[in-house]
Amino acid sequence: MANLVDARGRSCPEPVIMTKNAIESGQEGIKVLVDAQVAVENIKRFATSQGYKVEVEEREDEYSLTLRK
Protein backbone atom coordinates (compact mmCIF):
# COMPACT_ATOMS: atom_id res chain seq x y z
CA MET A 1 0.00 0.00 0.00
CA ALA A 2 1.38 3.37 -0.98
CA ASN A 3 0.22 5.46 1.97
CA LEU A 4 -1.02 4.64 5.47
CA VAL A 5 -3.14 7.10 7.44
CA ASP A 6 -3.51 6.10 11.10
CA ALA A 7 -6.43 8.14 12.42
CA ARG A 8 -7.32 5.85 15.32
CA GLY A 9 -8.22 7.75 18.45
CA ARG A 10 -9.02 10.93 16.52
CA SER A 11 -12.46 12.47 16.35
CA CYS A 12 -14.10 13.94 13.26
CA PRO A 13 -13.32 15.91 11.25
CA GLU A 14 -9.65 15.06 11.84
CA PRO A 15 -9.70 11.61 10.11
CA VAL A 16 -11.32 13.17 7.03
CA ILE A 17 -8.73 15.98 6.97
CA MET A 18 -5.89 13.44 7.29
CA THR A 19 -7.40 11.43 4.42
CA LYS A 20 -7.81 14.60 2.33
CA ASN A 21 -4.12 15.42 2.85
CA ALA A 22 -3.12 11.91 1.72
CA ILE A 23 -5.29 12.22 -1.40
CA GLU A 24 -3.85 15.64 -2.20
CA SER A 25 -0.32 14.23 -1.93
CA GLY A 26 -1.09 12.28 -5.10
CA GLN A 27 -0.99 8.76 -3.70
CA GLU A 28 -2.84 6.13 -5.75
CA GLY A 29 -3.56 3.63 -2.99
CA ILE A 30 -4.36 4.79 0.50
CA LYS A 31 -5.15 2.77 3.61
CA VAL A 32 -6.91 4.56 6.47
CA LEU A 33 -7.23 3.13 9.98
CA VAL A 34 -10.01 4.46 12.22
CA ASP A 35 -11.88 3.29 15.30
CA ALA A 36 -15.27 5.02 14.91
CA GLN A 37 -18.15 4.14 12.60
CA VAL A 38 -18.92 7.84 12.01
CA ALA A 39 -15.37 8.32 10.70
CA VAL A 40 -15.88 5.38 8.33
CA GLU A 41 -19.02 6.95 6.89
CA ASN A 42 -17.48 10.42 6.58
CA ILE A 43 -14.31 9.14 4.91
CA LYS A 44 -16.30 6.94 2.53
CA ARG A 45 -18.45 9.90 1.53
CA PHE A 46 -15.46 12.18 1.00
CA ALA A 47 -13.30 9.64 -0.86
CA THR A 48 -16.17 8.67 -3.17
CA SER A 49 -16.71 12.32 -4.02
CA GLN A 50 -13.02 12.46 -5.02
CA GLY A 51 -13.39 9.52 -7.42
CA TYR A 52 -12.02 6.78 -5.13
CA LYS A 53 -13.46 3.32 -4.59
CA VAL A 54 -13.59 2.42 -0.90
CA GLU A 55 -13.39 -1.03 0.66
CA VAL A 56 -14.04 -1.34 4.40
CA GLU A 57 -12.78 -4.14 6.60
CA GLU A 58 -13.87 -4.34 10.23
CA ARG A 59 -11.71 -6.03 12.85
CA GLU A 60 -12.98 -6.00 16.42
CA ASP A 61 -13.44 -2.29 17.18
CA GLU A 62 -11.24 -0.94 14.37
CA TYR A 63 -11.86 -0.30 10.70
CA SER A 64 -9.48 -0.41 7.76
CA LEU A 65 -10.51 1.54 4.67
CA THR A 66 -8.69 0.94 1.39
CA LEU A 67 -9.04 3.76 -1.15
CA ARG A 68 -8.24 3.13 -4.81
CA LYS A 69 -8.72 5.20 -7.95
Active site residues: 12
Query: Quick check: 5 and 32 in contact, CB under 8 A?
Result: yes
